[in-house]
Amino acid sequence: MSKILAGYRFIFNSSDIKNENDKTIIKEGLTEEEANLFAEISEYIQGGTYLELRSSTPEWRIKKEHERLYDILQKHSNLFSTEKMKSFKDDVGLIIDYISENMLGYSYDENFDMRTLNSYSIEYVPQEIIIEDVTHSFIKNKI
């Protein structure tokens, strides 16, 4: 048995920066504030706006991206502990990890520090949905 949680549901589709290795991440049971946070981050990074932490990336670009992403998180700071917000302010890598973990997936095996967001959708599930696996009902003779 599985279930889909009530609340807002985000479906993120991402790929590496070569537009390969598609990945879908679904976050469900979100509050309206959590959905707003994901929507704002998604709108900012969709279409190729992403931060690559490579030695060739100019420091000014890293700083600009960090400030913008931190500003988005700051608007929703009540979702995070004071310590977490301080960590986000001090280290852009932690923001990248948050986005990777919650929205895009990790790309370390693809030799990139962050994936690109190809698309996302937001759904609202008014009540929890229980899904029952009935496979065993259709298997007559087990071999």
| Average per-residue pLDDT for the chain | 86
Residue-wise pLDDT tens digits, 2-51: 999 999 999 999 887 777 888 899 999 999 999 999 999 999 988 665 55
Torsion (CA) 112, 113, 114, 115 in degrees, nearest 10: 20
CA distance 67 to 73: 10
**Residue 118 one-letter amino acid:** N
Asked if 57 contacts 29 with a C-beta cutoff of 8 angstroms, the reply is no
pLDDT at 136 over 70: yes
Query: Confidence band (pLDDT; 50, 70, 90) for 53?
Result: low
Quote the pLDDT of residue 70.
Answer: 96
CA dist., res. 13 & res. 8, Å (int): 17
Which pLDDT band, with edges at 50, 70 and 90, does 65 fall under?
A: confident
Is residue 120 a contact partner of residue 20, using CB atoms and an 8 Å limit?
no
Check residues 54 and 2 and name the one with the higher pLDDT: 2
Contact (CB, 8 A) for 78 and 33: yes
